[in-house]
Amino acid sequence: MESQKVDLFLMTHSKYFESYQIPIIREQLLLADDSKFIALQTINFKEPVMMLVVSLLGGHFGIDRFIIGDVGLGVAKLLTCGGVGIWTIVDWFLIMGRTREINYEKVMMILG
Amino acid sequence: MAVKEFIYKPDDHELEKAANSYLMSMIALMAGLPLPIINLIATFIFFLGNRKGTYFVRWHCCQALFSQATIVFVNSFCFYRTMSIIFGSAKVTNSYIAYLITVIVFNIIEFIITIQAAVYIRKGKHIEWWFFGTLAQLICKK
């Protein structure tokens, strides 16, 4: 992939990833062929700050976990009322990192 | 409490996660009062959530966990004595009041130290507490 395209992609999507993941993604993107760029554009990235807001408002019902795709943990959180409130507090601090991790996994799945 | 050099220079995202471990334990302590066990459970869940994290993050999660474990012992006994007075036949004695004051002072000191640790770590300084730091050093694997 052209470096211009790669840099443009990283500039517009850097907020979805951890800082240490960006050089790895860049390297992988440069090695990938152009056909993967369209697939990358179709990925539905989750915004970490939005997930934090969801966690603050609906964390007790596991909505944050459902949205990012951790359905199993979401069900567990829903049934335990957010782990009697404890898990909800913990997730306020974990959810942003987990969202970035999931976004990274999505990119890596496409890039192989 | 001492500011020491860590074996490597941690990245910004590591600093954020490590500082969060202290902030989270503090918020759990505040939210869980008067129940003394909530903070320990919350810190343990946070530690589990970061078990695949970097060494720096795990190290600070360990230190926060050990400090919270100590608080639990102190607060649990105070909680038990208070419940005995409210619901049981125990009476308010001088030793109880002395213990209650000690527990309050201990909690306030722990609260201040935790805030200070969170601030320092976010700025990139590696904080090692007396006893808990050594314990974390021994238990946390690289």
Residue A46 banded pLDDT, cuts 50, 70, 90: very high
CA B59 to the chain's CA centroid = 13
pLDDT of B139 > 90? The answer is: no
Q: Which of A71-75, B2-6, B55-59 bottoms out in mean pLDDT, i.e. has the lowest?
A: B2-6
Bridge partners of residue B126, in order along the sequence: B4
Chain A residues near residue B42 by CB distance under 8 angstroms = 86, 89-90
Interacting residues of A62 by C-beta distance below 8 A, sequence separation 6+: A73, A74, A75, A76, A77, A78, A82
B51: closest CA of chain A, how far (Å): 12
The pLDDT, as a whole number, for residue A37 is: 84
Closest chain B residue to the Cα of A86, Cα to Cα: B42
The pLDDT, as a whole number, for residue A1 is: 78
CA distances from B18 to A88, A106, B54 (A): 19, 26, 10
Contact A89 B49 (CB under 8 A): no
B15: closest CA of chain A, how far (Å): 12
Contact by Cβ (8 Å): A93, B20: yes
Chain A residues near residue B50 by CB distance under 8 angstroms = 94
**How many whole angstroms separate alpha carbon B78 and alpha carbon B56?**
34
